[in-house]
Amino acid sequence: MRAASWLLNRFGVDQALIGDLIEEHRTGRTAPWLWRQTLVAVVKTVTINARHHYWLGLRAMVIGWTIHALVVRGRRPAMLLMSSWSWKVDLWLRRTLSIYLPTSFMLVEALGAVLIGWTIARLHRPYEFSMVSLFVASLLVFDAAGFVNSFQRGLSTMGPLGLAINSVFPFLIVPIAIFCGACLPDGSHSHAGEMP
């Protein structure tokens, strides 16, 4: 219940609805029932916020994509700075686990994702998680478009395991990093009412 309640609070779901879900869960509803209800409540809240505050949604996407473009531009210099140690990690991974992973690239992308999440969340209170979700959705659509091409190229250069990890990266690790960034405190906001 704690995790579901945390998620519902973070996404700004109606407090009365959260109360209803707690009440139902305490009267014997199962954990799968609660999680199904939680996910639908979150999706509905994001949809309603996007519909009611579409200018904020548009602004969140413009901000997110601008930072993303800056991260892409700064990626090469940042990777060069890390190259003194990152090649050793890459080599170790290749020799011991037989997988190719561009660690410096992944690190820059993950840090960039955290920065994007933090910035969008900071500028879109109290709808931060809804706005971050909209940006993540647009990013996933963009990534999916290029996936087939990179899949074909990746299979020959990275091998199946490396490709699997690289495939998971934009669709799982980057979104998680963006939401982690959105959870980072900015010193001016606190969430009310975490509960049992």
Partner 1 sequence: MSREALGNFELMVLLAILRVGEDAYGVPIGRELEESSGKDVLLGSVYAALERLEAKGLISSRIGDPTPERGGRAKKYFKLTAKGLRDVRDTQRTLVRLWRGLPELRGEPA
Q: C-beta of 22: minimal distance to partner 1 in Å?
A: 4
The contacts found for 51-56 with CB under 8 angstroms, 24 or more apart, are 53/127, 53/130, 56/124, 56/127, 56/131
What type of residue sits at position 66?
Answer: T
Structure tokens at 142: 């963009």
Burial label, 80 (beta-carbon count in 10 A; 0-12, 13-18, 19+): exposed
Q: Is the dihedral of CA 45, 46, 52, 56 positive or negative?
A: positive
Q: C-beta of 20: minimal distance to partner 1 in Å?
A: 4
Q: Contacting partner 1 (CB under 8 A), which of 55, 145, 149, 196?
A: 196
184 scored as a contact of partner 1 (CB under 8 A): no
Q: For residues 195 and 15, what is the distance between their CA atoms, to the nearest angstrom?
A: 12
User: Binding string, 26-65, against partner 1, x = CB under 8 A?
Assistant: x------x--xx--xxxxxx-xx-----------------
Candidates 23-31, 111-119, 144-152, 166-174 — which segment interacts with partner 1 by CB under 8 A?
23-31
193 scored as a contact of partner 1 (CB under 8 A): yes
Looking at the chain, how many residues does it have?
196
Please, which residue, 41 or 115, has the CB nearer to partner 1? 41
The residues binding partner 1 (CB under 8 A) are 5, 13-24, 26, 33, 36-37, 40-45, 47-48, 193, 195-196
